[in-house]
A and B are shown apart, each in its own frame.
Chain A
Amino acid sequence: MNDIKADEKKSFSITKRYLFFSLLFSACGVCLLLVSYFQYKSSSCEKMMNEAVREGEIKIPAAYQAGRWAIYLVKNANLCCHPLLGYEKIKSSDRTRVAIFVSNDYTDNDIENFKDAFQVPAAHRVARLKDFDLMNLKDICGYKAESQYNILMLLKPDSTVELLRRF
Protein backbone atom coordinates (compact mmCIF):
# COMPACT_ATOMS: atom_id res chain seq x y z
CA MET A 1 0.00 0.00 0.00
CA ASN A 2 2.74 2.36 1.02
CA ASP A 3 4.72 1.51 -2.12
CA ILE A 4 1.74 2.40 -4.33
CA LYS A 5 1.37 5.72 -2.56
CA ALA A 6 5.07 6.41 -2.93
CA ASP A 7 4.89 5.55 -6.67
CA GLU A 8 1.91 7.87 -7.12
CA LYS A 9 3.77 10.59 -5.32
CA LYS A 10 6.85 10.00 -7.46
CA SER A 11 4.97 10.04 -10.78
CA PHE A 12 3.07 13.17 -9.74
CA SER A 13 6.27 14.94 -8.78
CA ILE A 14 7.91 13.99 -12.12
CA THR A 15 4.99 15.51 -14.07
CA LYS A 16 5.16 18.56 -11.88
CA ARG A 17 8.90 18.78 -12.45
CA TYR A 18 8.45 18.56 -16.24
CA LEU A 19 5.82 21.25 -16.08
CA PHE A 20 8.04 23.45 -13.96
CA PHE A 21 11.07 23.08 -16.23
CA SER A 22 9.08 23.62 -19.41
CA LEU A 23 7.57 26.77 -17.92
CA LEU A 24 11.00 27.95 -16.82
CA PHE A 25 12.50 27.35 -20.28
CA SER A 26 9.65 29.09 -22.04
CA ALA A 27 9.94 32.09 -19.68
CA CYS A 28 13.69 32.25 -20.39
CA GLY A 29 12.96 32.02 -24.10
CA VAL A 30 10.49 34.90 -23.95
CA CYS A 31 13.02 36.98 -21.99
CA LEU A 32 15.76 36.24 -24.53
CA LEU A 33 13.44 37.12 -27.39
CA LEU A 34 12.49 40.41 -25.76
CA VAL A 35 16.13 41.30 -25.03
CA SER A 36 17.21 40.50 -28.59
CA TYR A 37 14.25 42.43 -30.00
CA PHE A 38 15.15 45.57 -28.07
CA GLN A 39 18.84 45.13 -28.88
CA TYR A 40 17.96 44.78 -32.55
CA LYS A 41 15.71 47.82 -32.37
CA SER A 42 18.36 50.01 -30.77
CA SER A 43 21.18 48.74 -32.95
CA SER A 44 18.99 49.01 -36.04
CA CYS A 45 18.51 52.67 -35.28
CA GLU A 46 22.27 53.12 -35.00
CA LYS A 47 22.77 51.05 -38.18
CA MET A 48 20.20 53.11 -40.04
CA MET A 49 21.86 56.28 -38.83
CA ASN A 50 25.24 55.07 -40.02
CA GLU A 51 23.84 53.95 -43.37
CA ALA A 52 22.22 57.36 -43.79
CA VAL A 53 25.54 59.03 -42.98
CA ARG A 54 27.35 56.77 -45.46
CA GLU A 55 24.81 57.43 -48.18
CA GLY A 56 24.99 61.14 -47.53
CA GLU A 57 21.41 61.49 -46.28
CA ILE A 58 22.74 62.90 -43.04
CA LYS A 59 25.75 65.12 -43.12
CA ILE A 60 27.67 65.24 -39.90
CA PRO A 61 28.90 68.82 -39.62
CA ALA A 62 32.64 69.32 -39.56
CA ALA A 63 32.39 70.53 -35.96
CA TYR A 64 31.47 67.00 -34.85
CA GLN A 65 34.08 65.24 -36.96
CA ALA A 66 36.99 66.03 -34.71
CA GLY A 67 37.18 63.65 -31.76
CA ARG A 68 34.53 61.72 -29.91
CA TRP A 69 31.27 63.52 -29.20
CA ALA A 70 28.46 62.99 -26.74
CA ILE A 71 25.32 64.81 -27.81
CA TYR A 72 22.35 65.13 -25.51
CA LEU A 73 18.92 66.17 -26.69
CA VAL A 74 17.06 67.14 -23.54
CA LYS A 75 13.32 67.60 -23.22
CA ASN A 76 13.01 67.22 -19.51
CA ALA A 77 15.82 66.38 -17.14
CA ASN A 78 16.36 66.73 -13.43
CA LEU A 79 18.65 65.29 -10.80
CA CYS A 80 16.17 63.04 -9.11
CA CYS A 81 13.97 61.39 -11.67
CA HIS A 82 15.40 62.12 -15.14
CA PRO A 83 19.18 62.37 -14.78
CA LEU A 84 21.37 62.82 -17.84
CA LEU A 85 22.29 59.31 -18.94
CA GLY A 86 25.96 58.54 -18.25
CA TYR A 87 26.81 62.21 -17.82
CA GLU A 88 29.02 61.77 -14.75
CA LYS A 89 31.14 59.21 -16.63
CA ILE A 90 31.26 61.26 -19.81
CA LYS A 91 32.16 64.35 -17.79
CA SER A 92 35.18 62.62 -16.32
CA SER A 93 36.46 61.58 -19.76
CA ASP A 94 38.87 64.11 -21.23
CA ARG A 95 38.58 62.70 -24.74
CA THR A 96 34.82 63.14 -25.14
CA ARG A 97 33.42 66.50 -26.12
CA VAL A 98 29.90 67.27 -24.98
CA ALA A 99 27.07 69.25 -26.51
CA ILE A 100 23.71 69.49 -24.73
CA PHE A 101 20.67 70.73 -26.64
CA VAL A 102 17.70 71.60 -24.47
CA SER A 103 14.10 72.27 -25.53
CA ASN A 104 13.46 75.59 -27.20
CA ASP A 105 11.22 76.76 -24.35
CA TYR A 106 14.10 76.78 -21.85
CA THR A 107 14.67 80.37 -20.78
CA ASP A 108 18.17 81.77 -20.17
CA ASN A 109 17.56 81.36 -16.43
CA ASP A 110 16.49 77.74 -17.00
CA ILE A 111 19.75 77.08 -18.86
CA GLU A 112 21.77 78.68 -16.06
CA ASN A 113 19.90 76.63 -13.43
CA PHE A 114 20.38 73.51 -15.55
CA LYS A 115 24.14 74.11 -15.72
CA ASP A 116 24.22 74.78 -11.99
CA ALA A 117 22.25 71.64 -11.08
CA PHE A 118 24.18 69.26 -13.35
CA GLN A 119 27.49 71.05 -12.74
CA VAL A 120 28.11 71.43 -16.45
CA PRO A 121 31.74 72.46 -17.07
CA ALA A 122 32.37 75.58 -19.15
CA ALA A 123 33.84 73.42 -21.92
CA HIS A 124 30.49 71.69 -22.50
CA ARG A 125 28.21 73.49 -24.90
CA VAL A 126 24.60 74.03 -23.79
CA ALA A 127 22.24 75.42 -26.42
CA ARG A 128 18.62 75.20 -27.46
CA LEU A 129 17.38 72.48 -29.78
CA LYS A 130 16.73 74.94 -32.59
CA ASP A 131 20.51 75.34 -32.84
CA PHE A 132 21.03 71.61 -33.24
CA ASP A 133 22.43 70.95 -36.68
CA LEU A 134 21.63 67.22 -36.85
CA MET A 135 17.89 67.53 -36.52
CA ASN A 136 17.11 65.19 -39.42
CA LEU A 137 18.09 62.24 -37.24
CA LYS A 138 14.67 62.53 -35.62
CA ASP A 139 13.04 61.29 -38.81
CA ILE A 140 15.12 58.15 -38.70
CA CYS A 141 14.91 57.19 -35.07
CA GLY A 142 11.42 58.38 -34.26
CA TYR A 143 12.55 61.28 -32.13
CA LYS A 144 9.48 63.46 -32.27
CA ALA A 145 9.22 67.00 -31.08
CA GLU A 146 6.20 66.23 -28.91
CA SER A 147 7.75 63.21 -27.16
CA GLN A 148 9.03 63.58 -23.62
CA TYR A 149 12.11 61.46 -24.18
CA ASN A 150 15.68 62.62 -23.98
CA ILE A 151 18.33 61.24 -26.33
CA LEU A 152 22.02 60.52 -25.93
CA MET A 153 24.09 60.03 -29.05
CA LEU A 154 27.77 59.10 -29.08
CA LEU A 155 29.67 59.93 -32.25
CA LYS A 156 33.02 58.34 -33.09
CA PRO A 157 35.82 60.42 -34.63
CA ASP A 158 35.09 58.70 -37.98
CA SER A 159 31.55 60.21 -37.87
CA THR A 160 29.82 56.93 -37.16
CA VAL A 161 27.18 56.64 -34.51
CA GLU A 162 28.51 54.51 -31.68
CA LEU A 163 25.45 54.66 -29.49
CA LEU A 164 21.99 56.11 -29.58
CA ARG A 165 19.85 55.79 -26.47
CA ARG A 166 16.54 57.17 -25.33
CA PHE A 167 16.25 58.01 -21.65
Chain B
Amino acid sequence: MAGTQEKLLEIQNLKQHFNIGKPNEVKAVDGLTFDIYKGETLGLVGESGCGKSTTGRTIIRLYDATDGKVVFKGEDVHGKKNRSQLKSLNRKMQMIFQDPYASLNPRMKVEDIIAEGIDIHGLAKNKEERKQKVVDLLEQVGLNKEHANRYPHEFSGGQRQRIGIARALAVDPEFIIADEPISALDVSIQAQVVNLLKDLQKQHKLTYLFIAHDLSMVKYISDRIGVMYFGNMVELADADELYSNPIHPYTKSLLSAIPLPDPDYERNRRRIAYDPSQHDTSEEPEFREIRPRHWVLCTTKEFEAYKQEFQNKES
Protein backbone atom coordinates (compact mmCIF):
# COMPACT_ATOMS: atom_id res chain seq x y z
CA MET B 1 0.00 0.00 0.00
CA ALA B 2 2.94 2.28 0.60
CA GLY B 3 3.85 1.86 -3.04
CA THR B 4 3.71 5.51 -3.90
CA GLN B 5 6.48 7.19 -1.99
CA GLU B 6 5.04 10.66 -2.32
CA LYS B 7 5.36 12.55 0.94
CA LEU B 8 2.08 13.92 2.22
CA LEU B 9 3.35 15.21 5.50
CA GLU B 10 6.81 16.06 6.75
CA ILE B 11 7.43 16.53 10.42
CA GLN B 12 10.72 18.22 11.17
CA ASN B 13 12.18 18.50 14.65
CA LEU B 14 8.74 19.01 16.15
CA LYS B 15 8.68 20.14 19.76
CA GLN B 16 5.76 20.67 22.06
CA HIS B 17 6.57 21.86 25.55
CA PHE B 18 4.04 22.83 28.18
CA ASN B 19 4.48 25.32 31.05
CA ILE B 20 7.57 26.77 29.45
CA GLY B 21 9.89 28.54 31.87
CA LYS B 22 8.07 27.25 34.92
CA PRO B 23 9.43 24.63 37.29
CA ASN B 24 6.86 22.13 36.03
CA GLU B 25 7.85 22.40 32.39
CA VAL B 26 6.95 19.26 30.45
CA LYS B 27 8.65 18.33 27.22
CA ALA B 28 5.80 16.24 25.88
CA VAL B 29 7.24 16.03 22.39
CA ASP B 30 10.91 16.75 22.03
CA GLY B 31 12.37 16.83 18.55
CA LEU B 32 10.35 14.49 16.35
CA THR B 33 11.27 14.03 12.71
CA PHE B 34 9.41 11.73 10.38
CA ASP B 35 7.44 11.66 7.13
CA ILE B 36 4.03 10.31 6.33
CA TYR B 37 3.57 9.03 2.79
CA LYS B 38 0.45 9.42 0.74
CA GLY B 39 -2.02 6.55 1.13
CA GLU B 40 -0.26 4.80 3.96
CA THR B 41 -1.26 4.11 7.54
CA LEU B 42 1.38 5.10 10.02
CA GLY B 43 0.86 3.58 13.45
CA LEU B 44 2.14 5.40 16.51
CA VAL B 45 2.59 3.34 19.67
CA GLY B 46 4.02 3.87 23.13
CA GLU B 47 2.89 3.91 26.72
CA SER B 48 0.68 6.63 28.15
CA GLY B 49 2.50 9.88 28.65
CA CYS B 50 5.03 9.23 25.90
CA GLY B 51 3.58 12.04 23.81
CA LYS B 52 1.84 10.16 21.04
CA SER B 53 -1.49 11.96 21.43
CA THR B 54 0.28 15.30 21.79
CA THR B 55 2.08 14.57 18.52
CA GLY B 56 -1.24 14.00 16.76
CA ARG B 57 -2.78 17.11 18.24
CA THR B 58 0.20 19.27 17.40
CA ILE B 59 0.28 18.05 13.81
CA ILE B 60 -3.31 19.12 13.30
CA ARG B 61 -2.66 22.44 15.07
CA LEU B 62 -4.81 21.84 18.10
CA TYR B 63 -1.68 22.93 19.95
CA ASP B 64 0.77 25.55 18.74
CA ALA B 65 4.10 23.86 18.28
CA THR B 66 6.94 25.13 20.49
CA ASP B 67 9.45 24.54 17.75
CA GLY B 68 9.84 22.66 14.50
CA LYS B 69 7.78 22.34 11.39
CA VAL B 70 4.85 20.35 10.10
CA VAL B 71 4.74 20.53 6.32
CA PHE B 72 1.53 19.31 4.71
CA LYS B 73 1.80 19.09 0.91
CA GLY B 74 4.54 21.69 0.88
CA GLU B 75 2.72 24.07 3.16
CA ASP B 76 3.65 24.77 6.77
CA VAL B 77 0.76 23.99 9.08
CA HIS B 78 1.96 26.21 11.88
CA GLY B 79 2.89 29.84 11.71
CA LYS B 80 0.75 32.85 10.85
CA LYS B 81 -2.27 32.15 8.75
CA ASN B 82 -5.42 34.00 7.86
CA ARG B 83 -8.88 32.52 8.21
CA SER B 84 -9.22 31.19 4.71
CA GLN B 85 -5.81 29.54 4.76
CA LEU B 86 -6.68 27.85 8.04
CA LYS B 87 -10.02 26.80 6.69
CA SER B 88 -8.57 25.11 3.66
CA LEU B 89 -6.03 23.33 5.84
CA ASN B 90 -8.68 22.14 8.27
CA ARG B 91 -10.61 20.68 5.40
CA LYS B 92 -7.75 18.46 4.39
CA MET B 93 -6.89 17.24 7.87
CA GLN B 94 -9.42 15.71 10.22
CA MET B 95 -9.35 13.89 13.49
CA ILE B 96 -11.18 10.94 15.05
CA PHE B 97 -11.12 11.01 18.82
CA GLN B 98 -10.71 8.29 21.38
CA ASP B 99 -13.80 8.69 23.49
CA PRO B 100 -16.99 8.37 21.47
CA TYR B 101 -18.98 9.49 24.52
CA ALA B 102 -17.19 12.78 25.09
CA SER B 103 -16.43 13.78 21.52
CA LEU B 104 -20.02 14.25 20.30
CA ASN B 105 -22.08 17.22 21.45
CA PRO B 106 -25.01 15.72 23.39
CA ARG B 107 -27.31 18.62 22.44
CA MET B 108 -26.91 18.26 18.72
CA LYS B 109 -28.69 15.88 16.40
CA VAL B 110 -26.51 13.47 14.48
CA GLU B 111 -27.40 15.24 11.26
CA ASP B 112 -26.07 18.55 12.58
CA ILE B 113 -22.98 16.95 14.09
CA ILE B 114 -22.02 15.43 10.77
CA ALA B 115 -23.00 18.47 8.74
CA GLU B 116 -21.13 20.98 10.89
CA GLY B 117 -18.08 20.77 8.66
CA ILE B 118 -20.24 20.90 5.54
CA ASP B 119 -21.84 24.12 6.80
CA ILE B 120 -18.56 25.75 7.80
CA HIS B 121 -16.96 25.05 4.46
CA GLY B 122 -20.12 25.70 2.46
CA LEU B 123 -20.05 22.35 0.74
CA ALA B 124 -23.80 22.06 0.27
CA LYS B 125 -25.80 24.46 -1.90
CA ASN B 126 -29.14 23.90 -0.21
CA LYS B 127 -30.91 21.95 2.50
CA GLU B 128 -31.70 18.97 0.28
CA GLU B 129 -28.08 18.57 -0.74
CA ARG B 130 -26.94 18.83 2.87
CA LYS B 131 -29.42 16.18 3.91
CA GLN B 132 -28.39 13.94 1.02
CA LYS B 133 -24.73 14.29 1.96
CA VAL B 134 -25.42 13.32 5.55
CA VAL B 135 -27.43 10.29 4.47
CA ASP B 136 -24.64 9.20 2.12
CA LEU B 137 -22.09 9.53 4.90
CA LEU B 138 -24.25 7.61 7.35
CA GLU B 139 -24.60 4.80 4.84
CA GLN B 140 -20.87 4.75 4.18
CA VAL B 141 -20.15 4.16 7.85
CA GLY B 142 -22.81 1.48 8.18
CA LEU B 143 -25.64 3.49 9.72
CA ASN B 144 -28.87 4.48 8.01
CA LYS B 145 -30.87 7.59 7.33
CA GLU B 146 -33.26 7.07 10.26
CA HIS B 147 -30.30 7.76 12.52
CA ALA B 148 -29.90 11.34 11.28
CA ASN B 149 -32.60 12.76 13.55
CA ARG B 150 -31.43 11.16 16.74
CA TYR B 151 -29.18 12.40 19.51
CA PRO B 152 -25.82 10.83 20.49
CA HIS B 153 -27.10 9.27 23.72
CA GLU B 154 -29.35 7.00 21.69
CA PHE B 155 -26.37 5.18 20.23
CA SER B 156 -23.97 2.51 21.45
CA GLY B 157 -20.23 3.12 21.67
CA GLY B 158 -19.48 1.48 18.33
CA GLN B 159 -22.23 3.45 16.59
CA ARG B 160 -21.00 6.71 18.08
CA GLN B 161 -17.52 6.03 16.82
CA ARG B 162 -19.08 5.53 13.37
CA ILE B 163 -20.71 8.97 13.72
CA GLY B 164 -17.32 10.42 14.63
CA ILE B 165 -15.86 8.85 11.51
CA ALA B 166 -18.69 10.17 9.34
CA ARG B 167 -18.08 13.65 10.74
CA ALA B 168 -14.41 13.44 9.85
CA LEU B 169 -15.23 12.27 6.33
CA ALA B 170 -17.83 14.97 5.71
CA VAL B 171 -15.36 17.53 4.42
CA ASP B 172 -13.55 15.09 2.14
CA PRO B 173 -10.19 15.13 3.91
CA GLU B 174 -6.95 13.60 2.64
CA PHE B 175 -5.39 12.93 6.00
CA ILE B 176 -7.04 11.60 9.15
CA ILE B 177 -5.53 11.37 12.59
CA ALA B 178 -7.20 8.60 14.56
CA ASP B 179 -6.32 8.97 18.23
CA GLU B 180 -7.03 5.59 19.85
CA PRO B 181 -10.27 5.23 17.90
CA ILE B 182 -11.01 1.72 19.13
CA SER B 183 -9.66 1.50 22.65
CA ALA B 184 -12.98 2.47 24.24
CA LEU B 185 -14.86 -0.20 22.28
CA ASP B 186 -15.62 -3.85 22.91
CA VAL B 187 -13.53 -6.51 21.19
CA SER B 188 -16.25 -7.64 18.82
CA ILE B 189 -16.98 -4.01 17.88
CA GLN B 190 -13.29 -3.09 17.48
CA ALA B 191 -12.97 -5.40 14.50
CA GLN B 192 -16.02 -3.78 12.86
CA VAL B 193 -14.56 -0.28 13.23
CA VAL B 194 -11.10 -1.33 12.04
CA ASN B 195 -12.60 -2.94 8.94
CA LEU B 196 -14.61 0.21 8.30
CA LEU B 197 -11.51 2.39 8.55
CA LYS B 198 -9.69 0.11 6.12
CA ASP B 199 -12.55 0.13 3.60
CA LEU B 200 -12.85 3.90 3.74
CA GLN B 201 -9.13 4.25 3.20
CA LYS B 202 -9.41 2.28 -0.03
CA GLN B 203 -12.47 4.17 -1.25
CA HIS B 204 -11.25 7.67 -0.50
CA LYS B 205 -7.48 7.12 -0.83
CA LEU B 206 -7.00 8.36 2.71
CA THR B 207 -3.80 8.60 4.70
CA TYR B 208 -4.00 7.70 8.38
CA LEU B 209 -1.98 8.46 11.43
CA PHE B 210 -3.23 5.73 13.75
CA ILE B 211 -2.39 6.30 17.41
CA ALA B 212 -2.93 3.34 19.72
CA HIS B 213 -1.52 1.23 22.46
CA ASP B 214 -3.04 -2.09 21.38
CA LEU B 215 -0.03 -3.40 19.53
CA SER B 216 -1.62 -6.34 17.75
CA MET B 217 -4.35 -4.12 16.28
CA VAL B 218 -1.73 -1.55 15.22
CA LYS B 219 0.30 -4.22 13.50
CA TYR B 220 -2.78 -5.33 11.64
CA ILE B 221 -3.85 -1.91 10.37
CA SER B 222 -0.51 -0.14 9.82
CA ASP B 223 1.94 -0.13 6.93
CA ARG B 224 4.65 1.46 9.04
CA ILE B 225 4.92 1.84 12.80
CA GLY B 226 6.70 4.39 14.94
CA VAL B 227 7.52 3.64 18.56
CA MET B 228 7.61 6.60 20.93
CA TYR B 229 9.29 6.86 24.29
CA PHE B 230 9.50 9.97 26.44
CA GLY B 231 8.61 12.47 23.73
CA ASN B 232 10.88 10.98 21.17
CA MET B 233 10.57 8.43 18.43
CA VAL B 234 12.96 5.59 19.14
CA GLU B 235 12.23 3.34 16.20
CA LEU B 236 10.36 3.58 12.90
CA ALA B 237 10.01 0.76 10.39
CA ASP B 238 7.61 -1.21 8.21
CA ALA B 239 5.13 -3.06 10.40
CA ASP B 240 6.43 -6.56 9.64
CA GLU B 241 10.05 -5.48 9.92
CA LEU B 242 9.47 -3.83 13.29
CA TYR B 243 7.82 -6.90 14.75
CA SER B 244 10.27 -9.44 13.36
CA ASN B 245 13.46 -7.38 13.82
CA PRO B 246 13.04 -4.90 16.64
CA ILE B 247 16.34 -3.18 17.41
CA HIS B 248 15.86 -0.55 20.06
CA PRO B 249 15.76 -2.09 23.56
CA TYR B 250 12.55 -0.23 24.35
CA THR B 251 10.79 -1.67 21.31
CA LYS B 252 11.95 -5.14 22.31
CA SER B 253 10.62 -4.66 25.80
CA LEU B 254 7.29 -3.32 24.51
CA LEU B 255 6.84 -6.21 22.09
CA SER B 256 7.69 -8.75 24.74
CA ALA B 257 4.92 -7.37 26.94
CA ILE B 258 1.98 -7.83 24.54
CA PRO B 259 -0.23 -10.65 25.70
CA LEU B 260 -1.21 -12.78 22.71
CA PRO B 261 -4.32 -14.93 22.48
CA ASP B 262 -2.28 -18.12 22.38
CA PRO B 263 -1.91 -20.01 25.69
CA ASP B 264 1.04 -22.08 24.53
CA TYR B 265 2.99 -18.99 23.52
CA GLU B 266 2.05 -17.28 26.78
CA ARG B 267 3.36 -20.14 28.92
CA ASN B 268 6.79 -19.79 27.34
CA ARG B 269 6.85 -16.03 27.11
CA ARG B 270 9.93 -14.18 28.30
CA ARG B 271 9.46 -10.59 29.25
CA ILE B 272 12.36 -8.22 28.53
CA ALA B 273 12.65 -5.28 30.90
CA TYR B 274 13.82 -1.92 29.57
CA ASP B 275 16.58 -0.13 31.41
CA PRO B 276 17.19 3.37 30.01
CA SER B 277 20.62 3.48 31.67
CA GLN B 278 21.94 0.81 29.32
CA HIS B 279 22.33 3.40 26.59
CA ASP B 280 25.59 4.93 25.52
CA THR B 281 25.52 8.49 26.83
CA SER B 282 28.79 9.75 25.32
CA GLU B 283 26.85 11.76 22.72
CA GLU B 284 23.35 12.88 21.83
CA PRO B 285 21.52 10.04 20.07
CA GLU B 286 20.35 10.66 16.53
CA PHE B 287 17.74 9.08 14.32
CA ARG B 288 19.67 6.83 11.91
CA GLU B 289 18.64 4.49 9.13
CA ILE B 290 19.97 1.09 10.03
CA ARG B 291 18.48 -0.80 7.12
CA PRO B 292 16.47 0.62 4.26
CA ARG B 293 13.28 2.11 5.74
CA HIS B 294 14.22 1.07 9.27
CA TRP B 295 15.18 3.96 11.54
CA VAL B 296 16.47 3.81 15.10
CA LEU B 297 17.40 6.46 17.62
CA CYS B 298 21.00 5.73 18.57
CA THR B 299 24.51 7.08 19.03
CA THR B 300 27.40 6.27 16.66
CA LYS B 301 28.63 3.50 18.91
CA GLU B 302 25.19 1.95 19.25
CA PHE B 303 24.66 2.28 15.53
CA GLU B 304 27.66 0.03 14.92
CA ALA B 305 26.54 -2.40 17.62
CA TYR B 306 23.01 -2.64 16.17
CA LYS B 307 24.38 -3.21 12.69
CA GLN B 308 26.57 -5.98 14.03
CA GLU B 309 23.52 -7.52 15.69
CA PHE B 310 21.80 -7.64 12.31
CA GLN B 311 24.70 -9.28 10.55
CA ASN B 312 24.89 -11.91 13.26
CA LYS B 313 21.18 -12.54 12.91
CA GLU B 314 21.39 -13.01 9.16
CA SER B 315 24.44 -15.26 9.13
A and B are interacting partners: no
